[in-house]
A and B are shown apart, each in its own frame.
Chain A
Amino acid sequence: MYSKEIDLLINLLSSLQGIGPRSARRIALQLIAKKNTLMMPLGEMITDVAKLIEKCKICGNYDSKNPCSICTNEKRDENIICIVEEVSDLWALERGRLYQGVYHVLGGTLDAIRGISPEKLNIDYLFKKVREKKINEIILATSLTTAGQTTAHYIVSKFKGIDIKITRLARGLPAGGELDYLDEATLSQALYERISVNKEMDTKA
């Protein structure tokens, strides 16, 4: 039905996560229809990015510079490290534009059954960084899932005896969340972590 090259393009596109053969065919058709305005610039861009982008040797982020623009930004507080599972989590936090520290990407979460042990994640380098630099705080920004929390607990246990502030992200109601639709775990966490709203100091009630 299609030429060998188009078939290969569809196969490559469908190997991307979340894109099935049908979506791949649609994308391929769109690209072919907009050959000069979309396909060629996209091809060139992919080639350029493939040549330029590297994994940051300090935090694990992807950037055209190594160390990345976050690690080399002097305005950032390098004494606060936010630990995330994947680069996508780092990008999500960066979209919020609130955090001014640096990051450490673990490269996944611990999983005893699938054999993802601490040695397979970027954990040892984190300890090395903390030991060598004067780090004031590490923020655990792992997912609120069993795997995410197992990883967080493991990191906390390894820092036992080391004088460092360890914090984790707060848990509770999501923006736009209606109480009626929330699961009991989220509701319990939200109640447990409630804060005072009529006093200047935000203390746990």
Chain B
Amino acid sequence: MIIWDDEALILSSINYSETSLILKIFTKKYGVQKGFVKGAKSKKKSSIFETGNLVKVSYKSRTDEMLGVFSVELIKASFLVYIDDVKKFSCIVSIINLIEFSLVENETELELYNVSKNLIERVFSFEEGWIEDYIKWEIFLLKKVGFGLELSRCILSNKKSNLRYISPKSGCAVNEQAGIPWKNKLLNLPNFLISNKKASNLDLNEGFKITSHFLTKFANSIDKTLPFTRTSFIDNIFINKK
């Protein structure tokens, strides 16, 4: 018998019958997991299983191969409360969809779990800078799926100062001087990614260009298309900033 308890973020669910669901969650200690939830579609319980909710889960399964049963308790349902804030709403949907898109089941990702949970809390806080944090989170996710960026020093000159570009091939930073010959082929590296400076609208755009490029590379490597919800989120950011 396999039994465990953990904290998790709800990724998605599929209707199994009139009353039950198959739930996909991102747990703190056990990574992405799937399980069956009996009676999940009752009026009292259905709101617990919404994407992005933070829950406490107990899992039981007879064997490794069998789909186990989840018993789920809600910890925080902050998600639906902010449903009318289109930017924040689409940001959370993008985070959750990207996690589901990128991670395979049964692999522990403790660091990514903590970073993702903190980001969701940050998105719902009233503090500024959550879009910058989202872009940094995408860079962290890229690292976790094997497409990490090296932004601490220039790949050509080994210098740590005046980093201005990023190579679309290697994902490494390039110093302003060293990058002059390839200027048109390189991606611009916004300052907020290598310092604590506040990002301008242009910086955010450059940041999204970088993560879009490498996330698309990752998506191509697994023969998939990036979730459209990510594009919707970026559109919402820039349409509403104009």
Interface positions of A (Cβ within 8 A of B) = 17-18, 20, 110-113, 117-118, 144-147, 149-150, 153-154, 156-157, 160, 174, 181, 183-186, 188-189
Contact A146 B50 (CB under 8 A): yes
Are A112 and B228 interface neighbours, CB within 8 A? Answer: yes
Which residues of the partner chain A approach B47 to less than 8 Å between Cβ atoms? 183, 185-186
Instruction: Give the complex CA separation of A2 and B96 in angstroms.
Output: 49
* Nearest-CB residue, chain B, relative to A111: B12
- Picked from B17, B81, B83, the residue with its CB within 8 Å of the CB of A149 is B83
Most B-side CB within 10 Å, residue of A20, A153, A186: A153
B3-33 contacts to A, CB under 8 A, are 12, 17-18
Q: Which 5 A-B pairs give the minimum distances between C-beta atoms?
A: A112-B227, A185-B80, A146-B51, A18-B18, A112-B229
CB-CB under 8 A from A145, the residues of chain B are 50
| Partner-contacting stretch, out of B85-93, B120-128, B178-186 | B85-93
Q: Any chain A CB within 8 A of the CB of B71?
A: no
| A29 vs B235: C-alpha distance when bound (angstroms) | 57
| B residues in contact with A110, CB < 8 Å | 228-229
- The residues of B with any CB-CB pair to A shorter than 8 Å are 12, 17-18, 43-44, 47-48, 50-52, 74, 77, 79-81, 83, 86, 89-90, 93, 97, 100-101, 227-230, 232, 235-236, 239
Which of B79, B80, B86, B229 is the one whose CB lies under 8 Å from A189?
B80
Nearest opposing residue in chain B for A168, CB measure: B84
B90 and A118 form a contact (CB under 8 A): no
Q: Are B44 and A181 in contact (CB under 8 A)?
A: yes
Tell whether, in the assembled complex, residue A183 and residue B77 are in contact, meaning their CB atoms are under 8 Å apart. Answer: yes
Most buried by A among B18, B47, B239: B47
Do residues B83 and A144 form an inter-chain contact, with CB atoms below 8 A? Answer: yes
* Nearest opposing residue in chain A for B83, CB measure: A149
Partner among A113, A160, A183, A184 whose Cβ is within 8 Å of the Cβ of B97: A113
Residue of A nearest to B235 (CB): A157
Give Cα distance in the complex from A112 to B95, angstroms: 12
Supply 15 further A-B pairs (C-beta < 8 A) apart from A18-B18, A112-B93, A157-B236. Answer: A18-B17, A113-B100, A113-B101, A146-B51, A150-B90, A153-B90, A154-B232, A157-B86, A157-B235, A183-B47, A183-B74, A183-B77, A185-B81, A186-B80, A189-B81
What are 17 contact pairs spanning A and B, CB under 8 A? A18-B17, A20-B17, A110-B229, A113-B100, A113-B101, A144-B80, A145-B50, A149-B83, A150-B93, A153-B232, A153-B236, A154-B232, A156-B86, A157-B86, A160-B239, A183-B48, A183-B74
